[in-house]
Amino acid sequence: MKSNKLYILYVISNLIRGLNKALENDLKKTTSSHGLTLPQFYLLSIIYYKNGATLSEVSEYGNWHLSTVMDLIRRTEKKGLTRKELDGNDARTKRVYITEEGKELFNSLKDANDEYKFLETILQNESSESIEKKINSLYDMNKVLNQDRLVGYVRETANVLKV
């Protein structure tokens, strides 16, 4: 039997898009109340866990074009949340660091658990095992479709948050 690839692509892409929209709307409410855009929050989360990452690494982990990374860093530098430095070993390489002010802001966002209504709804209706299975399915799909390095980065940084 011939599989209907368009059907599979259509269903998966629309369901993931719907989930992403709900998650990002929830997160956007919290980040904006702390004076950040969603991309600025994602940037802070990357360098919070990978402090001193190169611009290319930030681009890869954030799934952004390098010009977007440069703009995000410029804006967060103006807010005093990040700083950019030349690599001591290679003058062509720039690294980005989170400042103390950036760490404090990110930590306040990590502690804003009661503000995430989307997750609250899921946690009330799903067992921990069921949620973990779904997360592992997302890891598996991303490992096939994206770089292993991205999946490795997400696993590594997520383990810091796991309670």
Domain regions of the chain by residue span = 5-125, 126-163
Q: If you average pLDDT over every residue of the chain, what do you get?
A: 88
Structure token digits, residue 41: 């929050």
Alpha-carbon distance of 26 to 120, in angstroms, equals 11
Q: Indicate the helix (H) or strand (E) that contains 81.
A: none
- At position 159, the amino acid (one-letter code) is N
Mean pLDDT highest for which of 98-102, 107-111, 127-131, 159-163?
Answer: 98-102
Instruction: Return the half-sphere exposure (C-beta side, CA atoms, 13 A cut-off) of residue 145.
Output: 10
Q: Indicate the helix (H) or strand (E) that contains 113.
A: none
Q: Indicate the helix (H) or strand (E) that contains 163.
A: none
Strand partners, 94: 86
Q: What's the average model confidence in pLDDT over 98-110?
A: 93
Predicted model pTM: 0.81
> What CATH number was assigned to the domain covering residues 5-125?
1.10.10.10
